[in-house]
Amino acid sequence: MLEQVRRAAPGWASPRAWVGRSGREARSSTRRWAGGVALAALLAVWALAWPVEARAQRVESAADLKGSPARATLTVEMREGSGAWGRRASMEPLDGGSVSLRVKAPPGGEVRWYLIFPDVTRTYENANPPWKPNPYKWIGVAKIDYLRVELTHHRGESEIAPFGDPKRDLWAPVRAWFKAERGRAPSASDYNPRVGTFRFQAVVVGAEGELLARSPGLEEVGDKGISTKVARISVRGQAGYLGYVASFYNVPGVFGSVSHQSNHYIGVDCADMLVAAWGRSTGRTVKNNYNVDMLVTGQPKRAEAELRGGAPAERLAWGVAIEPGDLIAVRYEGASRYQHVGVLAGDTDGDGVLSAGDRVLHAGPHPIKEAPLSEGSFDGRVAIVRLRKL
């Protein structure tokens, strides 16, 4: 540490160097020495504080939950705004709305709340993607990695409003963990702090640290993914179809996903995310699995165009040929079928026509993201359709 201080403060001198110097030199050396000591103290405090913060935000996997009660006996109740409490396992509120969770803990126990999250920094595959051998071959339902982190600011509270502080990013400790463990923090689109899907678990701990009770959580991850009994809040970005599409942030990308995964926010590919969001927005459950070509060819076509650099070769006016919420599907050069699909967010660059600056929401093989058409993901022959009936 002292050698580090010497390098950080070139004028540093040890007290022995005072001997034989004039008063002016001694005073100058004293100031330099004091500055070095102050810097050393700051560095020491920082070095001690950092591990404490890291320990406070420990991330756990299912393998870490030794001693957890085998059966979930706690029920998480939910309510939106000042409405009635309900024993439902999921909710899809609008961004900015008030959401509360509560449990009835046994006497003498302390409630701890956990945010349960999938590892969305990696992709998952139910079927081989086209860039692998035997493309589109079914290989089985992918095992999605789930973890949890305690919401320490809610320790001891039986009732919480997880989104009550708009300045608090629930994903901050998750990003810090990825940075420390994997060397890279996830992007904002990997874990969206405002909209998307969030899962919660409550655990009650006794005075000696023993586990007294828990609600469904990591322990309920099975062959089909995480249980639908785990408390889930999927926050919509706005009313209508596009809002439900945004509720799929924080959900893993799964190539070849199936309807059970997409309908329950477990995992999605490009087509199944749009189908599941349509089902949510219309109050219907779509059980059929759709690939891109099946989805697009079964809907009324509004327009077709060739896209290069995100710009269409012909003029497509907003409000005339196309509308926000229309699907845009691409058939890449040399392909005979549509291979990727997203949903148009609207005239985001304000020029009145479909152009490279307009943005699209799409998933696959990675989780959902919003990106401009200029990114190039839809360069090729595109069809624009409106979902009417599935």
Mean pLDDT of the chain: 87
**Where is average pLDDT lowest: 12-21, 36-45, 225-234, 267-276?**
12-21
> Does residue 241 surpass a pLDDT of 60?
yes
Q: Could you give the number of structural domains in the chain?
A: 3
pLDDT, position 298: 87
Q: 188 falls in which pLDDT band (50, 70, 90)?
A: confident
pLDDT bin (cut points 50, 70, 90) of residue 26 is very low
| Final residue belonging to a domain, choices 56, 73, 99 | 56
Residue 71 has pLDDT above 60, yes or no: yes
pLDDT average, residue stretch 279-299: 92
Residue 97 and residue 143 in one domain? yes
Out of 178-192, 243-257, 331-345, least confident range: 178-192
- For residues 51 and 69, membership in a common domain is answered with no
The continuous run of DSSP H or E covering 371 comes out as: strand 369-372
Residue 272 lies in a domain: no
Write phi, then psi, for 277 (nearest 5 degrees).
-65, -40
Residues 90, 193 within the same domain: yes
Which one, of 69, 37, 168, 73, lies nearest residue 115 by Cα? 168
Rg (CA), the chain: 27
Rounded to an integer, the average pLDDT of 274-292 is 94
d(CA 8, CA 226): 51
Whether residue 12 is found in the same domain as residue 133: no
- 79-116 per-position pLDDT tens digit: 999 999 999 999 999 999 999 999 998 888 999 999 99
C-beta contacts of 173-182 below 8 A and 24+ residues apart: 173/57, 173/59, 173/149, 174/59, 174/115, 174/117, 174/149, 176/54, 176/57, 177/57, 177/59, 177/149, 178/121, 180/54, 181/59, 182/121
Cβ 291 vs Cβ 271: under 8 Å: yes
What the block records as the tokens of 129 is 């993607």
Residue written as tokens 């479909």?
Answer: 354
257 within a domain of the structure (yes/no): no
The whole-number average pLDDT for the span 336-364 is 97
Q: 365, 388, 364, 362: which is closest to 373 by C-alpha?
A: 362
Contact of 312 with 305, CB cutoff 8 Å: yes
C-alpha to C-alpha distances, 312 to 66, 326, 390, nearest whole angstrom: 57, 16, 28
Q: What is the pLDDT of residue 29?
A: 43
46 & 186 share domain:
no
pLDDT value for 5 = 29
Which of these, 301, 222, 217, 208, lies nearest to 260 by C-alpha position?
222
Cα→Cα distances 388→126, 231, 276, 362, Å = 28, 31, 14, 19
Q: Average pLDDT of 323-346?
A: 96
* Position 321 pLDDT exceeds 60: yes
Do 74 and 145 belong together in one domain? yes
Query: For residue 13, is pLDDT > 50?
Result: no
Q: From CA 183, how far away is CA 179, in angstroms rounded? A: 5
Q: pLDDT tens digit string along 126-140? A: 999 999 999 999 999
pLDDT band, very low/low/confident/very high, at 167 (cuts 50, 70, 90): confident
Q: Is the pTM of this model over 0.95?
A: no
Are 359 and 321 in contact by the 8 Å Cβ rule? The answer is no
Q: How confident is the model at residue 76 (pLDDT cuts 50, 70, 90)?
A: very high
DSSP 182: H
Tally Cβ neighbours within 10 Å of residue 120: 25
pLDDT range class, residue 56, cuts 50, 70, 90: very low
* pLDDT given at position 21: 35
What's the CA gap between 385 and 387, in Å, rounded? Answer: 7
The answer to whether residue 266 is domain-embedded is no
115 φ, ψ (degrees, to nearest 5): -95, 120
**174 φ, ψ to 5°?**
-70, -45
Element at 56 (helix H, strand E): helix 23-56
pLDDT-based confidence at 187, cuts 50/70/90? confident
Mean pLDDT value across residues 71-85: 94
Host domain of residue 42: 2-56
Last residue of a domain, one of 56, 75, 97: 56
Cα–Cα distance between 314 and 77 in angstroms, integer? 53
Name the least confident of 6-15, 186-195, 298-307, 333-342: 6-15
Q: Give the other-Cβ count within 10 Å of 81's Cβ.
A: 9
Q: How far is 288 from 270, CA to CA, in rounded Å? A: 15
Residue 350 sits in the same domain as residue 204: no
Same domain, 133 and 217: yes
**Of residues 344 and 20, which shows the higher confidence score?**
344
Q: Which of 216, 238, 260 is the last residue of a domain?
A: 238
